[in-house]
Every structure is written in structure tokens, then in C-alpha cells.
Chain A
Amino acid sequence: MTTRVDTVELAGRTPDDAQPYAELGLKADEYARIREILGRRPTTAELAMYSVMWSEHCSYKSSKVHLRRFGDLPPSEAVLVGIGENAGVVDVGDGYAVTFKVESHNHPSYVEPYQGAATGVGGIVRDILTMGARPVAVMDSLRFGRADAPDTARLLPGVVAGVGGYGNCLGLPNIGGELLFDDCYAGNPLVNALCVGVMRHEDVHLAKAEGVGNKVVLFGARTGGDGIGGVSVLASETFDETGPAKRPAVQVGDPFMEKLLIEACLELFAADLVTGIQDLGGAGLSCATSELASAGAGGMHVDLERVPLRDSTLTPAEILMSESQERMCAIVEPAKVDAFLAVCRKWDVLAAVIGEVTDGERLTVDWHGERIVDVPPRTVAHEGPVYERPMARPADLDGLQADDAARLPRPSTPAELQAHWLAVVASPDGADKSWVTEQYDRYVRGNTVLAQPEDAGVIRIDEESHRGIALALDGNARFARLDPYAGAQLNLAEAYRNVAVSGATPLAVTNCLNFGSPENPEVMWQFAEAVRGLADGCRELGLPVTGGNVSLYNQTGDVAINPTPVIGVLGVHDDVRRRVPAGWRAARETVLLFGTTREELGGSAWASVVHGHLGGRPPVVDLAAERALGELLAALSREGRVTSAHDLADGGLAQAVTESALRYGVGARLTVDGDAFVALFSESAARAVVTTTDPDAVRAAAERAGVPVTALGTTGGESLAVDGLPELPLAEVRAVWEATLPALFGHPEDLTGRAAGVVPAGTVPTS
């Protein structure tokens, strides 16, 4: 069966053929611009390429003008590769380079939770691999609607299984992340995945097609009909009745193939067989070929019929748009092609030479000898539309900020205060996350020094020198809703602090900016403010932004999610043996609080959990204090002065001491200054709790660093005893803290021990 192929020649002869640009998501003026660039109407294949590459997802057309702020930050000596490549690369010392990035897969995960989340992990891992690095760990930052909402029960187990299933099967430890719930994510969960990779400086690879005559090799999985930009796209094509079935726009992952692809790529890099490389993610081959050609000096020619297919009935436009997973595209010198293909064969990875680098400035694609694409690649990949969208401060923001959390009824008795404490730590946001993290492999590769529930994940990168890295991901959306500028800075500060409490020195920043529709001026204002806040914050902390991802159109109906800038901070450990854990391990150690506690309850976990309230102002941002605290924590780790350190954030001191005590079952007797309610639930930033056997030395160091320090008490016993409150037995708080997620999503022991009725029919293997 053959369909009529729309060639460049035909397009020239039929300039007035109507084209379904609107169904492909292009605006009339964007379509007009394509016609202007080409001097004719685009072919079907060209229209497909432009439509996917000029989508918000690929072109960043609404966010670009704002993201320039990150590029304007002062240059950092640590950055080896900055924004613009697949992922930024930073120097972590001793000749090692680290690349890390976080990316969203929100919409696919809503449609198909398991595959959406799994391919989210797969995509970010390929970005890291593309830079020349061995991926060494992943993290995930997840947000759902109310924990007890029926749709959350549909989404969460699938998303967690997808993140775990893909990462576990790749052999990448999951070292941390977030799991939070809020009604604003009811119809739009957030699934953000981070990957980090390690390489030697000289191993950095770039996505560039250089060297006329070099071959373009497509390798990995066969190309199928999955993940083609949606049913509307397919519906717009003219197909015979015998054409391919319409397939869903969510891709299906095969982590086994990706594992083979990782090992094959690393062997190809090591043997110096690769000139340039690009993974195939969003927009598939359209993206890879146009970006490679655009970044290089010349052009590129591809013979599309050479692409190995899973479905022989795919049209050329579909092949160009397919988002089939686990594929890579490499530029290879002709003399090295045989060796390249041999490595692929060793790893059972299919590879095909599909084209070559040409002189000239065109990207041309032929289909069985007929020219179906002839475009300037830069116009596809890098010169898409750019919008300065209108912005407006949300009309409800003044009212929201005026609705101060300070006016909320506070607990009036010690018993009530303790009840609020238990409510906060047993809330789905505050509760034990083992239900999720037990589904992730944290041990594989044997270099995981710290993983969840620690504040930061820590990975050893050299077994001889003990050099390592720390990573944290944080994104408090309540603060960002109340003030996106401050909220983004508070998230930056929290991730910075989480890395610092582990004893690492913060080095670089990545981000995943999850927002509503950019066509809503209020959302656009939130976005611009968050970017401005993050850029200003990074300038003040002296940290570069090495990359990131923007996810827009996150909304349920017309209601946008709370602005959710998820910030990742990478830090360096000279010696991971000096890492500082968050849990209390021994009795009779002194508990100290670093930082200043103010009455700051706006956007707090207490206001949310106890009163369902979001209003007022977020905590004050004091980045100078964060920096002083971070430097102090690094110094104390270096000198081995503290036995534990835990960041204070959501849920304040109450949450932090609960987590530190429950980690190893060591309680404490504590005294708090002033109002116990404020002391326990304020979420003032720039604070951490540490334990030490040498309080005088720690106090002296804090004083030298200009960090306020308060004595809280002493570890020991089997309860948390705060002066003036009833003693809280650890067994009691543990019971409520651990019960929440299993009660919502099912307890594994119920199924291993006895038959339980919660297993969906058809999911029990019969073999």
C-alpha cells in the first residue's frame, strides 16, 4: 500500500492546497511565517517538523524572553557546559565533571500514569547520557491532588511504579525527591524527574553535526507509531482506510533497551567513535536532526526509508514526529562506522546509517528518492517564534496576601498543641514516604551514601579519593502562590540548605518550572516573577543555573496549578565519609538550633493541615543568612563536629525533630524559647537542627560565622519531651506517621500476610 507522498516539488506546484496547521497546534501567523521562510507552502513532512519543533514544549516560545535572565548571571568557573545543551556540565574537581537536569512529564503521566512516569525517567536519563556521562542516580519530585481523592488512587500507584520500574531496571539508584499533595494538582499531577551523570572532563560530548561526509547513525529501538503528537495530528493526515491505527500520544518505555543503549553509548564514547550525539525525545527525529544540523556548521541529508521501523505502514511525516523511546542519533566519521556498528551489535542494539553531514545550509530528507523536506535547520530548531506575552499581577493576590495566617485560631492548650503536631506529621505531606521509596532501588551501583529520607541524596563518585556529590530537589508551591518571586527564592534556599546540611558545598542549580497557561496573563506574571526571583537568588548565592525545563499549561479546566518552581541544587563533597545524616543516633548529645525563628505562618504546613488555609506572606528570604548557614554546616562537617544535621522547612521544628527522632528511634528532651506554638510551627527559612557531642566548639563556630544558635536540649529516651507539653512517645508518633500512606494506598503486609481484596482484577500473574 502506498499513500501519496507530499514532495517539495509537489508543494511548489500546489501552493494553495489547504493545510491542517491549526490542528497541528500552529497559529495562523506561525504558519504564514513558515511559508515565508520556505518561499512556498511546507510539505506535509515539513509542516509536521515545524509544528512539533515550534510547540511550546520544544521552542520555549513563551518562556524564552524570561529565561534569558539565567544566561545573564555572572559566569561561573565551575560551568563547563552551560544552558542550551541537553544538560549543563559542572566541574566537581579532580578532573570529574557532573551533568544533571530535571524534566517534567506531567501530562503523559496524567493520561497513562505508569508509562508517562517511566518514559519521563527514560527521557532525562538519555539527556544525561547524551552529554557523554554515565548516569549514576535519579530523583523524582511528585505532586498529586488531595491524597484521598479517587483520581489520586488511580495516578499515584502507577506513577510510583513507573518511576521505580524504569529506574530500577536501568540500574540507577533513586536517591531522593518529593511527594506532595494539593487540590490544585487534581487534574494535573506533576511528575518531575532528575538524573545526574558523571564523566571525566575530556569525555564531554555535544549535540553537533560537524564534518562534511560524516555519517548520521540512528541507533536503539525501532521507530513505531507511538507518541505521535496526538490524535488531532493523525486525524489531519490524509490516510487510506488501510492506514495505521491511531495510537495514543503517550510513549511506551522499554528500560531494558535503554540499559543496553547506555552501555553501548559509553563504550562508543570510550572508543572515541562519536563526533556528535543527540537523543531522541520530544519531537523525535525532527528534533534530533534539526538540532544536530542547526548546531553544526553545515547541513544534513537523511534518507528516511532507512529508518528501522516497527510498523511498515508509517508515513514519512509520522516517522519524523514519532516519539518512540530509547533511540539516539550520532554523527560518526566514515572510517569509524564499522567499529561503531560492531559495538552496537555487541550490545544487541539496532543501528542504521540514515544520512550524512553535507556542506550547504539545508536539512534535506528524502523518502525513496523523493525530496520531502528541504529547510534551513536553524529555522526549525533554534529560530522558532518568540512571544512576549502579556502579564498581569493576579487580581486575587492582594486579598490572598492580606488574609494573614496569624489570625487563625491557635491551639489553646498543650494537649491541643500536641494534637496539631501529630496532625502535621501525619498529614500526607508530612508522613513517612516509605510506601513510595521502598519501591525504588537505592543501593544499585554501591555508591549511595545518603538517600531518602535524608535531606539530600549523596553519591560517591570516586572510591579511591571518596569524592562525591549531593543533590536536593525542592518546590514549595504554597509560598510561590503567595509570592512567586520570594517562593522561587525560598525553594532555591531550601534545596541549597538541604545540600548544605549533608556537609556538601553547593555548586550549581537546575530547575523545572511548572506553571499554568502562558496565555493567561496572571500565570505569565507568576512565571516571570519566579524566574526573576530565582535568577536574583542565584546571583546572591553565587550559583550558576546550568539548565532546566519549563512545563506550561498545567491546569485543571481553567484553573491553573499553584506556581511550582522545583529547584535542584548540586553540591560537592571532597570526602563523602564526612557526610552528615539527618537522624539522631545516640543519646546524651546536645541538640542545637541554627538560625532565627520569627512568627512566620503564611503558607505553612500548619495553616494548611489544621485550617486548610493558604494566605498571608511567605517567610522572609535572607540569602545572606542561608549562605552563612551553609558555609557553617560545611565547615562543621569537615571538622567532624556534628553527628546529625536536619533542615527546617515544611512543618517547621515539629516536623524536623520528629523525623530526626524516628530515623533511629532516639528521642530527646527539648526546651523552646518563647511561644511553643510559634517555635514548633513557624517556617522561617535559614534554619537547621544539629546534634553534637562538643556544643562549645559548635557554638563558637556558629558565632564566628554569624549564625544565631539556640540550645534546644539533649537526645535520649523513647519520647519527644518538649517542656510544657505532654511527653510524646516515639511509638505513638511513629504509628501515626507511618500509617498515613499505607492507609491510603494499601499496605504491602496486608497482601503478603493474608489475602486482601485491594488487588485489581487481572493484575495477578498466573505463572
Chain B
Amino acid sequence: MRIGVITFPGSLDDVDAARAVRLAGGEAVALWHGDHDLRGVDAVVLPGGFSYGDYLRAGAIAARSPLMQDVVAAAGTGLPVLGICNGFQVLCEAGLLPGALHRNAHLHFRNRDQQLRVERADTTWTSSYEGGQVITVPVKNGEGRYVAAPADLERIEGEGRVAVRYVGGNPNGSLNDIAGVTSENGRIVGLMPHPEHAVEALTGPSTDGLGFFTSVLTAVVAA
């Protein structure tokens, strides 16, 4: 199973995402932002970091990079895409997911171990979890406050598009404690917390994050 991990200039957690893919049993394939080549991968991860130094707006420039045009096109025909942190910001900027990520309400970068409730256990990236399961993964961001216009927020909630929600404290002031959302077809998921940092007991607060990567492998095999 080939899972692509895109490296943009300023991507930081690409090595972590690739490790998570490998630990889940997949093959991690490095993808370069400047190529128009998805290298035949079965799914794509947009990793965390500060692509283009967060210039303009976080994720704004990366969303317009050459490879993202291919990602958007492929996502339209069902390619599973996971955006983590900066990757989530890129997906929102690219119009693949609703809403936007603003500067944290307290204006600080914040890194802590965070509890999340899995609201949707039926997406391509969360099927390894039980609905309502509470997991612990790191959160670390400066611009992670999820916002959407009131009508959009109502629609997102109404359609059950919230994939994961902060519990035990909201680290950044996200509306409705939203930590991550999914596309209508459940094949695109974006979240601010970092499941790829919770894949080994030695280095993470838990191994709860591995489920995102095992989920997609199962989904791709089933498809």
C-alpha cells in the first residue's frame, strides 16, 4: 500500500508522517511539491510544518503549489487525503475542506498532550476507532483555532462533518471545540492535532494516533 507524503518548502513533520505510515504497515512515498507527479500512490498525507514560512496565511501558498493541483483533481475522484496541522490549513486553503484556521485565541504557540473524541469513526482515516472513543495525541500549533461563518458552522455540525473534537480543554479557542473535519464523502480529513506523533510508546504520549494510518490501509485494501 503506497501512501504519499508531500514535502513543501518548510514542511517539518514529513519524516514523522512517513514513519507513521511505515509503522502502520504501509509504504511511505516521498512526494515533492514542485512536481506534477503523484507517483501512483493510493492515498496522500499533507504533513505539519510551516510551508512557505506561513507567509501570507498559513497554508495559502502551499495550496497553490503544482502538486496540489493534482491532489485536488485526484481528491475529486476519491483519492484519500489526510491533512495534519499545516496540512489541514492547506486543505482549507485549497477548498477541499470547509472553514479556516486562525491564530490561537491566546496568541501563543501551544504544545501539549490533548484528548480528542472521535466523532466520526466511519471516514477513510478514522475507521480503526470506535465512535465516541477518546484518544490522546499531541497538539502543537500557533494558528489552530478552527473558525467558520455561523451558517457554515451550523451546516458542518448538521452534516456531521466534525471528525474529531477537543475534550478536556480546548487548546486554542476553536469554535465548538472542533479539532478536525471531514469531506462529505469521508475520504478527506483534516485535523490540527498530530496523530503521527503518537505512534510509538517511546516517543509519544500514547500510540493512539496509529489508527489514522491503519484506517486508510484498511480502506484502500477494501476499495
B109 and A439 contacting across the interface, CB-CB below 8 Å: yes
**Interface membership of A23, Cβ < 8 A:** no
Contact flags (1/0) for A162-185 with B, using CB distance below 8 Å?
Answer: 001100111100000000000000
B interface residues, Cβ below 8 angstroms from A: 9-10, 12-13, 15-16, 19, 48-50, 52-55, 57, 102-112, 138, 140, 142, 169-173, 194, 196-197, 199-200, 202-204
Instruction: Tell me the minimal C-beta distance from A379 to chain B in angstroms.
Output: 40
Contact of A256 among B55, B111, B138 (CB under 8 A): B55
Could you say which interface size class chain A belongs to?
Answer: 35 or more
Q: A444 contacts B13, CB within 8 Å?
A: yes
- Interface flags, A81-101, vs B, CB<8A=1, else 0: 000000000000000000000
Known: A168-B109, A438-B111, A446-B19. A460 touches B203 (CB 8 A): yes
Q: Is A347 an interface residue (CB 8 A)?
A: yes
How close is A722's CB to chain B, nearest CB, in angstroms?
Answer: 30
Q: List 5 A-B contacts (CB under 8 A).
A: A438-B112, A443-B194, A444-B140, A748-B110, A751-B173
Given contacts A441-B111, A445-B16, A763-B107, contact A256 B196 (CB under 8 A): no
A438 to B111, CA, bound (A): 5
Chain B residues whose C-beta falls within 8 Å of the C-beta of A340 in the assembled complex: none
> In the complex, given contacts A255-B50, A446-B16, what are 9 additional A-B residue pairs having Cβ atoms less than 8 angstroms apart?
A161-B108, A171-B12, A256-B54, A259-B12, A444-B16, A444-B48, A746-B106, A751-B107, A763-B107
Interface residues of A in 445-473 (CB under 8 A from B): 445-449, 460, 463
* A256 with B10: CB separation less than 8 A: yes
Taken together as a complex, chains A and B put the C-alpha atoms of A537 and B177 apart, in Å, by 53
CB distance from A575 to the nearest CB of B (A): 11
From residue B32, how far is it (CB to closest CB) to chain A in Å?
Answer: 9
Q: What per-residue 1/0 map shows which CB atoms of A724-767 lie under 8 Å from chain B? A: 00000000000000000000001011111100000100011101
Known: A752-B170, A765-B102. A443 touches B9 (CB 8 A): no
Interface centre among A443, A449, A764, by most chain B C-beta atoms within 10 angstroms, is A443
Say whether A171 contacts B13, CB under 8 Å. yes
Decide yes or no: A767 and B55 within 8 Å by CB, A171-B12, A442-B111 being known contacts. no
Residues of A whose CB lies within 8 Å of any CB of B are: 161, 164-165, 168-171, 254-257, 259-260, 347-348, 434, 437-449, 460, 463, 576-577, 746, 748-753, 759, 763-765, 767
**A266 vs chain B, min Cβ distance (A):** 12
Report how far A104 CA is from B109 CA in the complex, Å: 23
A439 touches B110 (CB 8 A): yes
- Interface-centre pick from B112, B140, B202 (highest chain A CB count, 10 A): B202
Contacts of A764 in B (CB 8 A): 103, 107
Contact A749 B169 (CB under 8 A): yes
**Residue of B at shortest CB range from A576?**
B202
In the bound complex, do residue B202 and residue A256 qualify as a contact, i.e. CB atoms below 8 Å apart?
no
B105 and A255 within 8 A (CB) = no
Chain A residues near B15 (CB-CB < 8 A): 445-446
Min CB gap A738→B, angstroms: 13
Q: Which 8 residue pairs across A and B have the least CB separation, nearest first?
A: A256-B53, A171-B12, A751-B106, A748-B106, A752-B173, A443-B197, A446-B16, A752-B105
- Tell me the complex Cα distance, A558–B140, Å: 43
**Chain B nearest CB, measured from A662 CB (Å):** 15
| Complex contact B108–A438 (CB within 8 A) | yes
- Flag if A767 contacts B202 (CB, 8 Å): no
Please determine whether A439 and B10 come into contact, CB atoms closer than 8 angstroms.
Answer: no
Could you tell me the distance in whole angstroms from the C-beta of B106 to the nearest C-beta in chain A?
Answer: 4
Given known contacts A171-B13, A439-B108, A444-B12, is B202 in contact with A460 (CB within 8 Å)?
Answer: yes
Q: Determine whether the beta carbon of B111 is less than 8 Å from that of A752.
A: no
Q: Provide the residues of chain A in CB contact with B103, threshold 8 Å.
A: 764-765
What's the nearest-Cβ distance from chain A to residue B37, in Å?
A: 15
B62 → chain A, closest Cβ, in Å?
Answer: 12
In the bound assembly, the distance between CA atoms of A388 and B49 in angstroms comes to 49
